[in-house]
């Protein structure tokens, strides 16, 4: 009977969105034995479960049923690729909320340093950062550099694209026998956070692909990324229906060697709908 229950009932029973969808899916296509195996499996990044993951591990270092954030902590271990796609975030689904004290449904990059030597500045290094088909209330890119900066087909409720030219080098992530690739898709989370966490140690991901992310509830943030290519394509950014406020910002703290900005337009937008 539980497997026949609707999504809202499963959420009311305490299951997070990803687990509720897994149960509904399992109940629709599997027999009893397969359903039990599905429900009893441990959390997994590749199966789209929430938790705190120390890349490249597929099993979380922290997981609780009530914790619905997808957080990937990166260290100096080079990762071939990380992909997160087809995912709904923040308050973009019914009865959801951002984590307590948080104001952004998506946070990607490094961390600012402090005067404390235990908290030195970190960056996320990548050969190719792909930001594809996002829907955000706002999006800011700051304190980053790219040999090639590509901004194509972005529609936003006000935009400010003001990176500055410089000489960022071509960049790739090597490392010999690199750690396994990571792939998560078709999930619901209150927040997505992919970050370099070790003080003064830059994280390394050869290709980081974040595609078809639908968010609501705050600003999407990309900060402290060093890349060969930062590519933003076919984004819809906005929510206050006011072109005088700039909801899509590529700040003057972003430095590029070559810039392609093509087909980017402004258009008034309401907040993303709740799914």
Q: Identify whether residues 75 and 201 lie together within a single domain.
A: yes
Q: Identify whether residues 140 and 207 lie together within a single domain.
A: yes
Average pLDDT over residues 18-32: 53
Average pLDDT over residues 181-190: 96
Q: Identify whether residues 84 and 15 lie together within a single domain.
A: no
Q: Identify whether residues 16 and 140 lie together within a single domain.
A: no
Q: Identify whether residues 31 and 143 lie together within a single domain.
A: no
- Per the CB < 8 A criterion, the answer to whether 51 and 63 are in contact is yes
Residue 271 lies in a domain: no
Q: Identify whether residues 81 and 201 lie together within a single domain.
A: yes
DSSP states along 90-159: ETSSTT--PPTT---SEEEE-B---SSTTS--B-EEEEEEEEES-EESEEEEESEEEEEEEEES-EESSE
- The domain tally of the chain equals 2
- Per the CB < 8 A criterion, the answer to whether 254 and 232 are in contact is no
Q: Who wins on pLDDT, 72 or 24?
A: 72
pLDDT at position 150:
98
Q: Identify whether residues 158 and 232 lie together within a single domain.
A: yes
Q: Give the global pTM.
A: 0.86
Residue 187 lies in a domain: yes
Q: Identify whether residues 25 and 140 lie together within a single domain.
A: no
Q: Identify whether residues 100 and 36 lie together within a single domain.
A: no
Average the pLDDT over each of 21-30, 51-60, 97-106, 127-136 and give the range with the smallest value. Answer: 21-30
Token code pair at residue 231: 């590519």
Closest CA to 234 of 205, 206, 262: 262
Containing structural domain, residue 259: 55-266
Residue 48 lies in a domain: no
Residue 24 has pLDDT above 90, yes or no: no
Q: Is 162 helix (H, G, I), strand (E, B) or coil?
A: coil
- Please, which pLDDT band fits residue 1 given cuts at 50, 70 and 90? very low
Closest CA to 130 of 196, 194, 207: 207
In our burial notation (b when 16+ CB lie closer than 10 A, e otherwise), range 111-136 reads beeeeeeeeeebbbbbbbbbbbbbbb
Place of tokens 């898709």: 185
- Per the CB < 8 A criterion, the answer to whether 214 and 115 are in contact is no
Q: Identify whether residues 72 and 11 lie together within a single domain.
A: no
pLDDT at position 35:
45
Instruction: Please report which helix (H) or strand (E) contains residue 39, including its range.
Output: helix 32-40
Residue 261 lies in a domain: yes
Q: Identify whether residues 36 and 141 lie together within a single domain.
A: no
pLDDT at position 176:
75
């Amino acid at each position: 009977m539980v497997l026949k229950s609707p999504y809202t009932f499963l959420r009311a029973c305490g299951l997070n969105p990803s687990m509720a969808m897994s149960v509904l899916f399992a109940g629709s296509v599997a027999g009893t034995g397969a359903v039990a195996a599905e429900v009893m499996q441990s959390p997994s990044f590749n199966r789209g479960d929430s938790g705190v993951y120390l890349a490249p591990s597929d099993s979380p270092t922290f997981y609780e049923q009530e914790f619905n954030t997808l957080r990937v902590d990166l260290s100096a271990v080079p990762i071939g690729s990380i992909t997160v796609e087809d995912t709904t975030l923040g308050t973009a689904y019914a009865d959801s909320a951002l984590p307590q004290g948080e104001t952004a449904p998506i946070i990607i990059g490094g961390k600012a340093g402090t005067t404390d030597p235990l908290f030195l500045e970190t960056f996320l290094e990548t050969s190719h950062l792909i930001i594809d088909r996002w829907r955000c209330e706002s999006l800011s890119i700051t304190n980053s550099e790219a040999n090639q900066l590509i901004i194509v087909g972005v529609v936003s409720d006000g935009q400010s694209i003001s990176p500055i030219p410089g000489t960022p080098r071509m960049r790739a992530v090597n490392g010999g026998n690199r750690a396994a690739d990571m792939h998560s898709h078709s999930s619901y989370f209150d927040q997505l956070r992919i970050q370099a966490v070790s003080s003064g140690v830059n994280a390394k991901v050869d290709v980081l692909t974040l595609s078809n992310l639908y968010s609501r509830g705050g600003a999407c943030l990309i900060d402290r990324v060093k890349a060969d290519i930062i590519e933003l394509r076919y984004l819809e950014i906005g929510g206050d229906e006011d072109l005088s406020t700039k909801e899509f910002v590529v700040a003057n703290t972003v430095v590029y060697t070559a810039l392609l900005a093509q087909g980017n337009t402004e258009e008034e937008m309401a907040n993303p709908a709740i799914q």
